[in-house]
């Protein structure tokens, strides 16, 4: 049975406002940017049967340091999002994409033994831990940005911040 989650409100100039959720072991369950972040995170937690409370100041400070460290160095903390076995395989593959590099949905599909880049796109789009499971590093096969749950402007910003080559087209 899932346990408890601590919510933390965050801000970073490259990300904007975001809400994170950490489990009782300090693993990230969610990191969602944007104005609708809090209800989205709360909905994810409800769906997984987790009770949520606001974090204490120590947890919030550590979460802010973790976010700043990720932007400075690319060091990603441990994550533990809820998902299907297929989604978790895709999310593990995303964590293997080095900072400053990109992969296509088709490349990820081959990596996880799936014939469908579209199915991989669905799993990428369902990723609840923005940044730390770097779904922004996945592009369409033609080199265009493809999709991004939190907007293509943020995807461009994140890729630029990491020094990734610019995407083709929109």
Where in the sequence numbering do the catalytic residues fall? 135
- Specify the DSSP class assigned to residue 129: B
Provide CB contacts within 8 A for 138, sequence distance 6+. 94, 97, 102, 103, 104, 105, 108, 120, 124, 146
In whole angstroms, give the CA distance from residue 21 to residue 81: 10
- Contact status, residue 139 vs residue 169, Cβ threshold 8 Å: no
**Segment holding 17, helix H or strand E:** strand 16-23
User: Are 59 and 21 within 8 A, CB to CB?
Assistant: no
Our CA angle for 94, 16, 10, nearest 5°, is: 85
* Strand, helix or coil for residue 43: helix
CA 84, CA 92: separation in Å to the nearest integer?
Answer: 12
């Amino acid at each position: 049975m899932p346990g408890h989650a601590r919510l933390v409100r965050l801000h970073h100039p490259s990300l904007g406002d975001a809400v994170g959720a950490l489990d009782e072991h300090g693993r990230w369950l969610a990191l969602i940017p944007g104005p609708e972040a809090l209800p989205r995170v709360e909905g994810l937690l409800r769906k997984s049967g987790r009770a949520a409370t606001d974090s204490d100041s120590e947890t919030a400070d550590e979460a802010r340091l973790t976010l700043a460290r990720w932007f400075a160095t690319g060091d990603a903390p441990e994550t533990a999002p809820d998902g299907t076995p297929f989604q978790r395989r895709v999310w593990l593959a995303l964590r293997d994409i080095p900072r400053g590099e990109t992969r296509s949905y088709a490349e990820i599909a081959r990596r996880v033994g799936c014939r469908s880049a579209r199915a991989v796109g669905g799993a990428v789009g369902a990723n609840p831990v923005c940044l730390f499971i770097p779904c922004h590093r996945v592009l369409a096969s033609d080199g265009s940005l493809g999709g991004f749950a939190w907007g293509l402007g943020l995807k461009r910003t994140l890729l630029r911040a990491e020094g990734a080559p610019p995407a083709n087209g929109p």
